[in-house]
């Protein structure tokens, strides 16, 4: 009886195994490995593939690169557009993401709405294989973008921060985007990556800073450099030289003077008309890292 039972069990297992194997035999001519009786279609739920047809069992396979192309254009909403209040409400609970200059391709099965808080990007539709399908659309700081579902190549022209409803956090992280901390979110703008910035980028940041906060008075020039300007990561490409007629704003690498910061604000550098004589304390700061003379040493 035990022998007969074992033989019957083995036969059932072999039959079951053969049946399952036959159901999934690959079609060598077409390269398909799916069940013959199933028709696989892409759902709109996060790139999952569901089986339909004679089989009543539903299979869910995550296929992130299988997205449905769309003919809808990328929308750019600029300041003053009546759609902005509704977009602000939609993005009110979203997070900030930042990315340095790079090129990346995103595969989305749902539209993305975002506001570019900082930077500049260009977005163009592509095929799944990465072939261009149309012209790039540029989005600048302060503007909103609506990107339909599909595959898109992002060119991050300047270090950028966006407030976005994109739910593909893992894909964004693997492509170079980094989510800002909650503290940075509370500040309202997130932050910028300093990768890829140059002296002109930092000068633009300084111009905005001076326009919003005002220029420091003459008796605070040294303090402004020591406690703010030289510590700000978005001014790392600039050097500061205190003179009798203002603070020279220089490219830290080439030492080329770009602008002059006076009590009235930023002004053009005019060495032929104005004499700029560096102070002794400024020379000490650039060599020793301190405006104050060390009492332990005598000149």
My answer on whether 176 and 203 are in the same domain is no
The pLDDT tens digits for 187-201 are 444 555 566 678 898
- pLDDT for res 275: 92
Q: Is 210 a residue whose pLDDT tops 90?
A: yes
My answer on whether 94 and 193 are in the same domain is no
My answer on whether 209 and 289 are in the same domain is yes
Share of the chain above pLDDT 90, in %: 44
User: Which of 180, 213, 230 is the C-terminal boundary of a domain?
Assistant: 180
User: Which of 180, 197, 214 is the C-terminal boundary of a domain?
Assistant: 180
Mean pLDDT value across residues 179-194: 57
CATH code at 128?
2.60.120.10
pTM for this entry: 0.49
Mean pLDDT value across residues 177-196: 61
10 in a structural domain: no
Mean pLDDT value across residues 219-248: 91
**Whole-number mean pLDDT of the chain?**
77
My answer on whether 279 and 201 are in the same domain is yes
Find the domain containing 259 and state its range: 187-298
Q: How confident is the model at residue 130 (pLDDT cuts 50, 70, 90)?
A: confident
Q: Is 241 a residue whose pLDDT tops 90?
A: yes
The pLDDT tens digits for 31-89 are 443 333 333 333 333 333 333 333 333 333 334 445 555 668 999 999 999 999 999 99
My answer on whether 133 and 228 are in the same domain is no
- DSSP letters, 101-114, are SEEEEEEESS-EEE
The number of distinct structural domains making up the chain is 2
Q: How confident is the model at residue 222 (pLDDT cuts 50, 70, 90)?
A: very high
- In the structure encoding, which two tokens stand for residue 181, read together? 């901390």
Cβ–Cβ under 8 Å, residues 268 and 259: yes
- In the structure encoding, which two tokens stand for residue 255, read together? 């030492």
38 in a structural domain: no
Cβ–Cβ under 8 Å, residues 239 and 206: no
- pLDDT for res 193: 56
20 in a structural domain: no
Residue 175 has a CB neighbour count (10 Å cut-off) of 16
My answer on whether 91 and 171 are in the same domain is yes
Instruction: Give Cβ neighbours of residue 134 (< 8 Å, ≥ 6 apart).
Output: 124, 125
The pLDDT tens digits for 139-155 are 999 999 999 999 999 99
209 vs 214: CA distance, rounded Å: 8
- In the structure encoding, which two tokens stand for residue 113, read together? 């709405």
- Containing 86, the helix (H) or strand (E) segment is helix 84-90
CB-count burial class (<10 Å; 0-12, 13-18, 19+) for 259: buried
User: Which of 180, 203, 238 is the C-terminal boundary of a domain?
Assistant: 180
- pLDDT for res 35: 36
């Amino acid at each position: 009886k035990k022998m007969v039972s074992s033989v019957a069990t083995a036969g059932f297992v072999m039959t079951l195994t053969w049946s399952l194997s036959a159901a999934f035999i690959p079609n060598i001519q077409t390269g398909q490995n799916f069940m013959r009786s199933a028709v696989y279609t892409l759902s709109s739920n996060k790139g999952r593939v569901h089986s339909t047809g004679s089989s009543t069992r539903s299979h869910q396979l995550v296929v992130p690169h299988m997205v449905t192309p769309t003919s809808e254009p990328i929308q750019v909403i600029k300041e003053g557009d009546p759609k902005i209040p509704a977009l602000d409400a939609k993005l009110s609970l979203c997070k900030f993401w930042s990315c340095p200059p790079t090129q990346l391709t995103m595969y989305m099965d749902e539209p993305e709405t975002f506001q570019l808080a900082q930077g500049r990007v260009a977005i163009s539709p592509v095929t799944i294989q990465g072939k261009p399908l149309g012209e790039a659309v540029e989005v600048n700081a302060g503007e909103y973008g609506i990107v339909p579902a599909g595959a898109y190549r992002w060119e991050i022209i300047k270090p950028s921060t966006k407030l976005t409803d994109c739910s593909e956090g893992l894909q964004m992280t693997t492509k170079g985007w980094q989510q800002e901390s909650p503290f940075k979110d509370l500040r309202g703008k997130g932050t910028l990556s300093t990768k890829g910035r140059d002296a002109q980028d930092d000068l633009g940041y300084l111009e905005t800073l001076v326009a919003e906060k005002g220029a420091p008075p003459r008796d605070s020039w040294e303090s402004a450099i020591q406690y703010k300007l030289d510590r700000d990561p978005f001014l790392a490409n600039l050097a500061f030289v205190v003179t009798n007629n203002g603070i020279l704003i220089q490219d830290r690498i080439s030492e080329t003077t770009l602008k002059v910061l006076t009590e009235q604000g930023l002004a053009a550098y005019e060495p032929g008309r104005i004499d700029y004589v560096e102070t002794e304390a400024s020379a000490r700061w650039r060599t020793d890292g301190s405006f104050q003379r060390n009492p332990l040493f005598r000149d």
